[in-house]
Amino acid sequence: MNEYRHNSSEAIQRTQPGWFHPRRYYLNMLRKLIEYAIEKHIPNKNGILVDYGCGSMPYKTLFETKINSYLGADLSDNPAIDIKLDAQGKLNYADSAADILLSTQVLEHVDDPELYLQESHRILKNDGLLLLTTHGYWMFHPDPNDFWRWTSSGLKKVVERNGFEVVDFRGIIGRPAMGLQLFQDGLMFNLPSPIKQIFIFIMQIFIHLFDKVTKQETKNTDACTFLVVARAKK
Ligand SMILES: C[S@@+](CC[C@H](N)C(=O)[O-])C[C@H]1O[C@@H](n2cnc3c(N)ncnc32)[C@H](O)[C@@H]1O
């Protein structure tokens, strides 16, 4: 088991990254994107949420006042899970039983994205809510695999093709800032420790500043990470 990706300090790093964290800006923007989705699309307390590919469940506390039950589902090497996946990645969970399906940064890692979306659709009630984030541009990062990257059009198409109606779509981190993030990631692994930390600190400030030049509507078509909010239609 990979301890790092499933422990609670990893969860804190994801929601409150430190000043020298190489993904500081991205992780802050991703947390805000999920907060935006909760605020806009979950007005009332709303039953059962299944976090499919939950890892350390870093966003669990954000949902505290919005749901009655939070169930984590992941591969069998994750000790924190409530629902174990079978060998194909299917959920051991009833049809049409969940109100919300949360999927944060999982779709690029699954062997078969269509099967993953069909499973998400199967366990959601009619009109149940899918909140899914995944990468547009990003470096290779296996967990335990890394198979896919999405364009905005391709992501909408694959979600709709599997029984969902897309009701909101939003991107974070546009091309100029993302170019800098990839530049940082291309160099940082070769730098000695103190220089690396200073380099990351400066790069993260520039990434933040450069992201301000890109309009939100441009990010919605071309970005580091996309949020899809969709309703299961049955
Ligand atoms: C980058 S981590 C994201 C974890 C968590 N959702 C988060 O936002 O921190 C990717 C997760 O996808 C899980 N995963 C990989 N293949 C999967 C599959 N076929 N079905 C469901 N989850 C999978 C991994 O075990 C891992 O927990």
Q: pLDDT (tens digit, 9 = 90+) per residue, 63-99?
A: 999 999 999 999 877 788 999 899 899 999 999 999 9
Which atom of ligand 1 approaches the CA of 141 most closely? 1
Task: Compute the average pLDDT of residues 188-194.
Answer: 93
Per-residue tokens: 96: 């049409």
Q: Say whether 25 sits in a helix, a strand or coil.
A: helix
| Residue range 6-10: mean pLDDT, rounded | 68
List strand residue ranges (DSSP E) for the chain, in order: 48-52, 69-74, 83-84, 98-104, 124-135, 164-172, 225-232
Q: Answer whether 172's CB lies under 8 Å from 221's CB.
A: no
Does pLDDT of 100 surpass 50? yes
pLDDT at 45: 85
What pLDDT was estimated at residue 1? 33
Atom of ligand 1 nearest to the CA of 111: 19
Share of the chain above pLDDT 70, in %: 97
pLDDT band at 6 (very low <50, low <70, confident <90, very high): low
What gap in Å lies between CA 180 and CA 30, rounded to an integer? Answer: 17
Domains recognised in the chain with CATH numbers:
3-173+216-232 (3.40.50.150)
Tokens of 115: 């099967």
Calculate how far, in angstroms, residue 164's C-alpha sits from the geometric centre of ligand 1. 21
CA of 135 from ligand 1 middle (Å) equals 13
* Rounded average pLDDT over 203-212: 98
Residues 57 and 72 sit within 8 Å (Cβ to Cβ):
yes
Using a 6 Å cutoff on CB, does residue 110 contact ligand 1? Answer: yes
Question: How far, in Å, from the CA of 26 to the mean position of ligand 1?
Answer: 18
